[in-house]
Structure 1
Amino acid sequence: MFFDKSHLVALGGNMPSAKGESVETLRAALDRIASSGCELLAVSRFYRTPCFPPGAGPDYVNAAARIACDAAPEAVLNLLHRVEAEFGRERVKRWGQRTLDLDLIGAGDAVLPDAATYQAWHDLAPDAQQSEAPDRLILPHPRMHERAFVLVPLADVAPEWRHPVLGRTVVEMRDALPDDALSEVVAL
């Protein structure tokens, strides 16, 4: 299977790391990704966003990057997880506070592991989303189209990327979100 070498990554954090507060942590993580053999093609502005779920901790700093790696999406995800661990990320609680969150959002027109599995995670009931996590890479990210904190920064770096299942561009998905959700994503 052919994979586009361009990968879309969402970055976030709301707890300090050894590198400093969230902005410094995200910048250092981007440098670490670049020093690991991936090219940073574009990096969004940094944004302040409310913690999700509400009340779970301090506000987040979010960003997005378009990177080029000569590797399959699973290998890119493994790299992102290694970088998270280097910055003190511990996967203790789903949607909990974190020093660094690096999510692989998309890779060209890849739908992984297959269309049926993607659809099952896309259709997962909201209460199940809080407790269940996939045991493999699901691409594109099954919740990306619902999240302003992903789509607003992603529109800075890949506005015309088209979701391979939904058929909409990043800008179209962003613009379909409610105004109140969009207004919560504030450029730093």
Structure 2
Amino acid sequence: MNSAFISIGSNIGERLLHLKDAVRALHSHNEVSVLSMSSVYETAPVGYTDQADFLNIVIEVRTSIDAYNLLTVCQEIEHELGRVRTVRWGPRIVDLDILLYNNDNINAENLIVPHPRMHERAFVLIPLLEIAPEIVHPDTGRFYSEEAAVHDQSVLLKQKVSGVEEFIQ
């Protein structure tokens, strides 16, 4: 079995509902099991800033599929939930990003793991560290908790989550 961490964000429409739908879709997939998830956090957009704030979570999954097939599953879920890619870092109904996959280093055209900018993004690190406080970068062995981004005060706790099953109800 493989372990992965996936970041999920939404800033269009019923943001919380979109997060729930994405987690539900992953959890119901026959080759993916959602083990844990962070609370829901609200953050301002990064990159393209002329858009609504995001709700963000990080989930931990176990899966029997490889990273490339997990990426396909994530992209299919985005498509099923109505994501349309128009502007890079622009508004989106839902966005699923594979942050880590086992301790693998993947540098392919369509997939880079560990996610190349996660160490700079508080909206990724804060929820990740909530569910995996001792996690380290697979290359450097450096604790993600040591990254400067974890001290960003703009990531706001929106909703505590007690567990996956409660969240997707």
Matched, 1:5 2:2: yes
Q: Does residue 159 in structure 1 map to residue 133 in structure 2?
A: yes
Could you report, residue by residue, the CA deviation over 1:123-181 in whole angstroms, capped at 9, with x for unpaired residues? xxxxxxxxxxx7321110011100001000111122222111232223223xx2274xx
Aligned twin of 2:115: 141
**Deviation, structure 1 residue 54:** 5.7
Structure label with greater radius of gyration: 1
**Is the Cα contact below 8 Å between 1:158 and 1:170 reproduced in 2?**
no
- Give the strand-richer structure, 1 or 2: 2
Paired residue secondary structure (2:112): coil
| Long gaps (5+) in structure 2 | 159-169
1:62: how far off? 0.5
- Is the partner of 1:8 in helix, strand or coil? strand
- Give the secondary structure class of the aligned counterpart of 1:75: helix
In structure 2, C-alpha distance between the alignment counterparts of 1:87 and 1:151, rounded to whole Å:
25
Aligned ranges 1:90-105 → 2 under 5 Å: 90-105=84-99
Unpaired segments ≥5 residues, structure 1:
114-133
Supply the AA of the counterpart residue of 1:34.
H
Aligned residues, how many? 157
- How far apart, in 1, do the equivalents of 2:42 and 2:140 lie? 27
1:186 alignment partner in structure 2: 156
Secondary structure at 1:155 match in 2: helix
| 8 Å CA contact retained: 1:44, 1:153 | yes
Q: How many angstroms does 1:56 deviate by? A: 2.1
1:36 corresponds in structure 2 to 29
Q: For 2:149, what is the secondary structure of its paired residue?
A: coil
Cα distance in 1 for residues equivalent to 2:57 and 2:26: 14
Please state if 1:23 is matched with 2:16.
Answer: yes
1:177 paired with 2:149, answer: yes
